[in-house]
Structure 1
Amino acid sequence: MTNEPKGDRALEGGRVSYDSEADAIGVYFVPDGAEYDSSREVAPGVVLDYDKQGRVIGIELLHVRRLLAQGSSTVTANG
């Protein structure tokens, strides 16, 4: 048994996960030696995770079911 959250999928150099309780998809690509520092919501339902050097190391999409239900609508930086 692993400690990885249910729904994680390994990628070369990263991982993808879905959290059904939070209804969120996360894509994480952590460069060697990177340490998580902070997160910032850059658009409604789009959160970027940063390392201590200011590099993006992850992207989280919130409210995934709602986004999928909207069909062809897209998320933009202006909402």
Structure 2
Amino acid sequence: MKLKVDRRADALYLTLSESPSSRSEEVSPGIIVDYDDQNRVVGIEMLYLSKRAPEADIQRLLFEFIPGAA
């Protein structure tokens, strides 16, 4: 899994799989989900990042793991 922030595009992209994307769907304005040829989600893009999360510190990420979740 990879998280990429593109400041020039003002976008965030979360890669969930290295499988190539075969189609994309805008599920909400500025939120695009990429699917592979078996209809599995391989990535999620969020546009207008600075407007959606103006207080976000993109230099610092916190990952939280929930005990017992598989």
1:59 to 13, 20, 44: 44
The percentage of aligned residue pairs carrying the same residue is: 35
Structure (1 or 2) with the greater strand fraction? 1
Q: Scaled by the length of structure 2, what TM-score is found?
A: 0.70
1:30 to 17, 40, 49: 17
Gaps of 5+ in 1: 1-13, 71-79
Q: Helix, strand or coil for the counterpart of 2:22? A: strand
Q: Higher relative CO (CA 8 A, sep ≥ 6), structure 1 or 2?
A: 2
Please report how far the alpha carbon of residue 18 of structure 1 lies from its aligned counterpart in structure 2 after TM superposition.
0.5
Paired residue total: 55
Q: How far apart are residue 38 of structure 1 and its match?
A: 1.2
2:2 alignment partner AA: R
Computed over aligned residues only, the root mean square deviation of the Cα atoms, in angstroms, reads 1.6
Counterpart amino acid of 1:42?
A: V
Equivalent AA in structure 2 for residue 19 of structure 1: D
Aligned residue in 1 for 2:28: 43
Detail structure 1 runs of 4+ shifted over 2 Å in the superposition: none
- Note the residue ranges of structure 2 that are not aligned, 5 or more in a row: 56-70
